């Protein structure tokens, strides 16, 4: 037999011997895959009974497969939905923390204000009777403005409190001097010098410090809870990129196509996929942690010197104490006012015959402890803040740890103890590539997800900016500085700090001519002690005010 015949027969025999084995691989059943695929709710019409050639696959390995093009498309969409649900479920704790604690704190604060207003009204009605009821709008307006400030209204607390005491002085001044008639101009003169007269003693100054610090801290804290809630809600709703969707499909369902539906992804493989898909979320973590730290600092203030409950609970007693001071010093106050604003005109005979109602001189009787209203919202500020602090601490680093939280879920991966019998993206074997670090810039060499590190997610960057702005406001509140939450505030209205020369701090035509200058409230910004001395005329006072306005300082 010629040698060339043998050379032909031997390869042919080898080919023939290999055909049964090849046919056996090709004919492998897809029964287990059909069962798993059907359990997902998909139609079995899409899936073959036996493996087919995989040249049509766009994501999974193009080898013999149980997946058709329709199956790959549907499983790809399924992997996207499952990923979105996983992120939402994993961030559920942080979202519910901010939602529930915001609701509780807001409920507590509003009820605290309602209780304080009701307590003051009940006590003053009982103590002063009709006299209080005829002037109750002064107190109602105080609480209305406090509520408006808390809910984000453009209210300057210092100006509002100064206005409250000025209005109260006007009303009381008329009550202790019923024999005189006071014009609006005269009463305006009286109110402009509330601080210099100090008719209510030191109560207004102390209460102003306590209220402004406590309300600034409380309002900023509840705003922080709102921002945390909104950011968490937004960030937990992810929109995976095409590159991420391909990686998710390969990780979660390409094992189905290879006839291995029960084999779960390797833990480290999952981490690289998740770190690539959630790279932008991880970049949020730095600003998020700074925000949480600032929230915790303000929480400490609320527990300590800025405790709103310790301010509002006895506010009725403090205001009554101020009224008592006014009554005791009524003669001296009246004399100084008459000296500075001029002698008022006598009232008509009918009115001058009357004197101040006797119940005006009734001593204020505060509630006994057992009579005082119950704590707001069934809790105390200390207990509420302690609970919020514990939950806030648990929410630190939540965004950078998302991949680890998702990948340790036994329903997602094979776990760390099963590193040899897991899906590595190609077969059932150990996953060898190294794990990427957190954040967008660290994904440049991610072996699983195609990440464009040059294009940060605009939406995530907006959330980072929102956190940065809120953190700055929290730092201000921690230091006792007011923060304006209005998006469009009129900076020229004088409603913000440092707004320049305003009527109540500039020299005016009404100067007190006294041998002894009244004490000037040291807490009052921009009030020169010379304002209480005999001196400048209307013209010179106006020139001084103009000059000071130009310098933006009232000194």
pLDDT tens digits, residue range 254-268? 999 999 999 999 999
- The pLDDT value recorded for residue 377 is 54
Cα→Cα distances 481→55, 159, 226, 517, Å:
67, 14, 20, 31
Task: Tell me which of 51 and 359 has the higher pLDDT.
Answer: 51
CA separation for the pair 52, 42 (Å, rounded): 19
Tell which residue, 488, 487, 498, 490, has the closest CA to residue 526: 498
- The pLDDT value recorded for residue 496 is 36
Under 8 Å CB-to-CB from 359, ≥6 apart: which residues?
A: 127, 128, 129, 130, 131
Answer yes or no: is pLDDT of 7 > 80: no
Helical packing angle, 157-176 and 203-235, nearest 10° = 150
Q: Per mean pLDDT, which of 285-289, 485-489, 528-532, 551-555 is the most reliable?
A: 285-289
- The pLDDT value recorded for residue 378 is 61
| Poorest-pLDDT segment among 20-34, 97-111, 529-543 | 529-543
Residue 101 buriedness (CB in 10 A; 0-12 / 13-18 / 19+) = buried
- The pLDDT value recorded for residue 263 is 93
Joined together, the tokens standing for residue 503 give: 């009527």
Per-residue model confidence as pLDDT tens digits over 199-237: 999 999 999 999 999 999 999 999 999 999 999 999 999
Q: What is the DSSP letter of 488?
A: S
> Mean pLDDT of all residues in the chain?
79
| DSSP H or E run through 231 | helix 203-235
Task: Tell me which of 527 and 134 has the higher pLDDT.
Answer: 134
* Banded pLDDT at 513 (limits 50, 70, 90): very low
CA separation for the pair 107, 104 (Å, rounded): 5
* Banded pLDDT at 9 (limits 50, 70, 90): very low
- The pLDDT value recorded for residue 205 is 92
| Poorest-pLDDT segment among 33-37, 422-426, 441-445, 485-489 | 485-489
Torsion of CA 51, 54, 56, 59, to 10 degrees: 110
Residue showing tokens 């009129």: 490
**SS3 (DSSP) at 201:** coil
- The pLDDT value recorded for residue 351 is 46
Answer yes or no: is pLDDT of 330 > 60: yes
| Poorest-pLDDT segment among 56-70, 169-183, 370-384, 393-407 | 370-384
Residue showing tokens 């130009």: 550
- The pLDDT value recorded for residue 555 is 35
Per-residue model confidence as pLDDT tens digits over 422-472: 999 999 999 999 999 999 999 999 999 999 989 899 999 999 999 999 999
Q: Which residues of 274-309 are buried (b: 16+ CB within 10 A; e: fewer)?
A: bbbbbbbbbbbbebbbbbbebbbebbebbeeebbbb
Answer yes or no: is pLDDT of 543 > 50: no
Q: Cβ distance 477 to 298 under 8 Å?
A: yes
CA separation for the pair 204, 161 (Å, rounded): 8
Cα→Cα distances 220→106, 111, 117, 225, 469, Å:
12, 18, 22, 9, 12
Joined together, the tokens standing for residue 276 give: 């690539």
Task: Tell me which of 118 and 500 has the higher pLDDT.
Answer: 118
**SS3 (DSSP) at 29:** strand
Per-residue model confidence as pLDDT tens digits over 429-439: 999 999 999 99
Residue 368 buriedness (CB in 10 A; 0-12 / 13-18 / 19+) = exposed
- The pLDDT value recorded for residue 349 is 60
* Banded pLDDT at 375 (limits 50, 70, 90): low
CA separation for the pair 76, 80 (Å, rounded): 6
Q: Cβ distance 129 to 175 under 8 Å?
A: no
Task: Tell me which of 337 and 488 has the higher pLDDT.
Answer: 337
The string of DSSP codes covering 314-348 is THHHHHHHHHHHHHHTHHHHHHHHHHHH-PPEEPP
Under 8 Å CB-to-CB from 369, ≥6 apart: which residues?
A: none
Cα→Cα distances 98→51, 224, 395, 402, Å:
50, 9, 10, 18
CA separation for the pair 372, 368 (Å, rounded): 7
Q: Cβ distance 76 to 236 under 8 Å?
A: no
């Amino acid at each position: 037999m010629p040698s060339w015949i043998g050379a032909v027969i031997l390869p042919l025999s080898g080919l023939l011997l290999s055909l049964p084995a090849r046919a056996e691989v090709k004919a492998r059943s897809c029964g287990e895959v059909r069962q798993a695929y059907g359990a997902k709710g998909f139609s079995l019409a899409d899936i073959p009974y036996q493996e087919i050639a995989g040249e049509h696959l766009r994501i999974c390995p193009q080898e013999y497969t149980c997946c058709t093009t329709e199956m790959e498309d549907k499983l790809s969409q399924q992997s996207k939905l499952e990923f979105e649900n996983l992120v939402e479920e994993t961030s559920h704790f942080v979202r519910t923390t901010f939602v529930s604690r915001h609701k509780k704190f807001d409920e507590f604060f509003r009820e605290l204000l309602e209780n304080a207003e009701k307590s003051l009204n009940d006590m003053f009605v009982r103590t002063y009777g009709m006299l209080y009821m005829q002037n109750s709008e002064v107190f109602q307006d105080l609480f209305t403005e406090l509520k408006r400030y808390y809910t984000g209204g453009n209210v300057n607390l210092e100006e509002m409190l100064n206005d409250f005491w000025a209005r109260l002085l006007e009303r009381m001044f008329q009550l202790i001097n019923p024999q005189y008639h006071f014009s609006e101009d005269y009463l305006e003169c009286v109110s402009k010098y509330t601080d210099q007269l100090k008719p209510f003693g030191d109560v207004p100054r102390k209460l102003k410090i306590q209220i402004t610090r406590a309300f600034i801290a409380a309002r900023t804290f509840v705003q922080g809870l709102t921002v945390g809630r909104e950011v968490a809600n937004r960030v937990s709703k992810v929109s995976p990129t095409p590159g991420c969707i391909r990686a998710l499909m390969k990780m979660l369902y390409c094992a189905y196509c290879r006839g291995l539906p029960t084999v779960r992804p390797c833990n480290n493989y999952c981490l690289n996929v998740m770190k690539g898909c959630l790279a932008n979320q991880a970049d949020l973590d730095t600003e998020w942690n700074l925000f949480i730290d600032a929230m915790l600092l303000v929480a400490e203030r609320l527990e300590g010197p800025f405790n709103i409950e310790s301010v509002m609970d006895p506010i009725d007693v403090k205001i009554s104490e101020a009224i008592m001071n006014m009554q005791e010093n009524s003669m001296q106050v009246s004399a100084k006012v008459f000296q500075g604003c001029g002698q008022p005109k006598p009232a008509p005979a009918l009115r001058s015959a009357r004197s101040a109602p006797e119940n005006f001189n009734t001593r204020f009787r505060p509630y006994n402890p057992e009579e005082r209203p119950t704590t707001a919202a069934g809790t105390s500020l200390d207990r509420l803040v302690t609970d919020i602090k514990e939950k806030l601490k648990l929410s630190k680093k939540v965004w950078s740890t998302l991949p680890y939280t998702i990948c340790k879920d036994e329903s997602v991966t094979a776990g760390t103890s099963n590193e040899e019998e897991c899906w590595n993206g190609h077969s059932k074997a150990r996953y060898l590539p190294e794990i990427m670090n957190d954040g967008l810039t660290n994904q440049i060499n991610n072996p699983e997800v195609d990440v464009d590190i040059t294009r940060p997610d605009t939406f995530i960057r907006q959330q980072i900016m929102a956190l940065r702005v809120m953190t700055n406001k929290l730092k201000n509140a921690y230091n006792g500085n007011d923060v304006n939450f209005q998006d469009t505030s009129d900076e020229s209205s004088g409603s913000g700090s440092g707004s320049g020369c305003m009527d109540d701090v500039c020299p005016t035509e009404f100067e007190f001519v006294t041998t002894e200058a009244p004490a000037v409230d040291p807490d009052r910004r921009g009030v020169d002690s010379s304002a209480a001395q005999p001196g400048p005329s209307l013209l010179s006072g106006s020139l001084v005010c103009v000059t000071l306005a130009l310098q933006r300082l009232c000194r």
